[in-house]
Amino acid sequence: MAMCVIITLFFTAHEFVCWGQDKVEQASRQMTADEAARVTLLCNYSTSFTNAYLFWYKQLPNRSPTFILSEFTVGKGTIEDEYKDRFSVTLDSISRTVPLMIKNLHVSDSAVYYCALSYSSALTLYWYRQYPGSAPQFIVFISDGSKQAQESNVDSRFTAKVTKDKESHVDLIISSAAVSDSALYYCALQPTVTGNTRTLYKKLTHSIAETERVTKIMLNMLFQIFITFYKATIEQKSINRTDDLVNMDRH
């Protein structure tokens, strides 16, 4: 029995906030193909920089995006071992396209695919926010060598900070958190020049929704403390009033 493979496309640029000319785009958003068929996922890019770094990612439902491959206008990119047999890419720096070819389609290929652009090969750490049904939205990035926190150009409430102790980590700091901040957050490492292609995305350990849950618990605890204090105050006033009556009787 023939099976259909459903592929949804989303496109994102690492640095689109800083430079308006740097972007990736594609008109087609979804395609369906038969199992064992061959498909080409198109991605157009534009950049003001001489060397462009293009990436393709795959995301399964309720999972973080996983790195497939990278391709550069200058130099050679990398591809994960599990995709080498059926996935390939050809970057055309003249027409500025970087199509992803998938042959011998499997049902397991049904997923959301992301095309991404970066202008730098420097080791950089990124934070992304993803709402249900939407592509990850770039928030803020910071270089590994940075000594100070980097404020987001998207929203000044978001700040990234690199901390180096026993284990190096990059924290996302959100000031004045709002309900609209409830989302899935990803910390990402660009590994293509370091050879570490297995840690491009790290799954979020907690979300704003979890923070809100803890906040509600804390507010409930504070409310209970207030009620207890209020009852104790009323009881104390009642005792004082009784003492006053006793003293009046003695007089």
- Residue by residue, DSSP assigns 4-48 as EEEEEEEEEETTTTT-TT-EEE-S--EEEEETT--EEE--EEE-S
pLDDT-derived band of residue 163, with 50, 70 and 90 as boundaries?
Answer: confident
| pLDDT score, position 121 | 55
Regarding whether 104 and 217 lie in a shared domain, the answer is no
Regarding whether 240 and 158 lie in a shared domain, the answer is no
Q: What is the pLDDT of residues 58-79, one digit of tens each?
A: 988 888 888 899 898 877 889 9
CB atoms within 10 A of CB 174: 18
Find where tokens 């491959």 sit: 69
Q: Output the CA angle 61-64-67, nearest 5 degrees.
A: 115
Regarding whether 236 and 123 lie in a shared domain, the answer is no
Average pLDDT over residues 6-19: 44
Across the chain, what does the average pLDDT equal? 72
DSSP β-bridge partners for residue 72: 53
User: Phi then psi for 5, rounded to 5 degrees?
Assistant: -110, 125
How many independent structural domains does the chain possess?
2
Task: Write the CATH number for 83.
Answer: 2.60.40.10
Domain that holds residue 45: 4-205
- Across 52-104, the runs of DSSP E, i.e. the strands, are 53-59, 66-72, 87-89, 100-102
Regarding whether 216 and 201 lie in a shared domain, the answer is no
| pLDDT score, position 62 | 83
Regarding whether 99 and 175 lie in a shared domain, the answer is yes
Q: What is the pLDDT of residues 21-49, one digit of tens each?
A: 678 886 566 788 888 899 999 889 988 77
